[in-house]
Amino acid sequence: MSETLDLARQLIARRSVTPEDAGCQEIMIQRLEAIGFHVERLRFGEVDNFWARRGEQGPLYAFAGHTDVVPTGPETNWKYPPFEPTVVDGMLYGRGAADMKGSLAAMVTACERFVAAHPDHKGSIGFLITSDEEGPAVDGTVKVVQHLEARGEKMTGCLVGEPTSTARVGDVIKNGRRGSLGGILRVRGVQGHVAYPQLAQNPIHLAAPALAELVAASWDQGNAFFPATTFQITNIHAGTGATNVIPGELEVWFNFRFSTEVTAEQLERRVEAILDRHGLDYGLDWTLSGQPFLTPRGELVDAACAAVEAVTGQTPALSTTGGTSDGRFIAPTGAQVLELGPLNATIHKVDECVSAEDLDLLSQMYEGILQRLLLA
């Protein structure tokens, strides 16, 4: 059993359903302290985080990730118990195997080998680890970043271990992410009996033309790095539970995934203009989960691409598709940010799994990135 596989199994065995860490971070901390990292345990609210650094000079390149995992659902639906890591036919099964305890293990073992071979490397290596990525994400990475910013400690670059690969490990590197803007719309009408519609105002009927216009709208055309901005309605609710009552209010949930061609403020203004033009009586609450960010070709992206090519013989694709990640909290500091991790085919699913061999390959990629960035 490889060091990376062994460490991944130790982490998966911890029932760290968000926001619980369940001791995962202490396992990592012990390994990092043993190779010269100075560790700060940072607890904000009910969330455990830590920041570890080896070295005092720049450049500072960090690994970032999360020890928390999503709930399993009924464990009877799993072929292998989700917190009893099991290797079958070369596949490691368990909650978090791909998202993202496998990546965390690969990061640690990569650093162990790198430090053993190059104890006097230039610059610094950091670890920013949270247990609040799969949850509200308010007391995790964002708070650690604020803590570092307050004392002027800045990362030159950061590699997030999100599962980015699709067909083979390392085939996709995320060098940016779209922004996420959510809204909850409440359209007010007048409740009444369906037999007397003239005495009521149906908010569903009133809102329908505006919703159709929002769905059909073109928000931008995207650019060379980002696809066009998308708008999706995710929930519609109204009614009292009776078929003969016109509802008094309609609630609509929706989300934008937006490119760098448009700002959150511009999207908000366009939506409100459409609703106003249709004469609706409404309230609207906005939630900006993250701004779009992009890391162009440079030291970090070039090092990652070269490291992947050296391990796999294949050139990775750069992509900004997919959901949000904690990279959205790190990029605004000015750090180069990218994401590289294992296959994402089973993340958040029953019987989540990852190839044991892929974890070793991923660890080699991470080590190769350190070599290209921190060796003179």
| Active site amino acids | 68, 133
Burial 186-218 (b: 16+ CB within 10 A, else e): bbebebbeeeeeeebbbbbebbeebbeebeeee
58, 64, 146, 171 from 153: Cα distances, Å: 10, 15, 10, 32
Residue 96 near residue 17, CB atoms below 8 Å: no
Residue 216 CB partners (closer than 8 Å, separation 6+): none
Sign of the CA dihedral with 325 first, then 326, 328, and 334 last: negative
- Distance in angstroms (rounded) separating the CA atoms of residues 284 and 65: 33
Other C-beta atoms within 10 Å of 293: how many? 21
- Distance in angstroms (rounded) separating the CA atoms of residues 77 and 62: 37
Single-letter residue type at 160: V
Instruction: Give the neighbor-by-neighbor strand order of the sheet with 230-238.
Output: 230-238, 249-258, 179-188, 282-290
Grouping H, G, I as helix, E, B as strand and the rest as coil, residue 78 is: coil
Instruction: Give the neighbor-by-neighbor strand order of the sheet with 91-93.
Output: 86-88, 91-93, 353-355
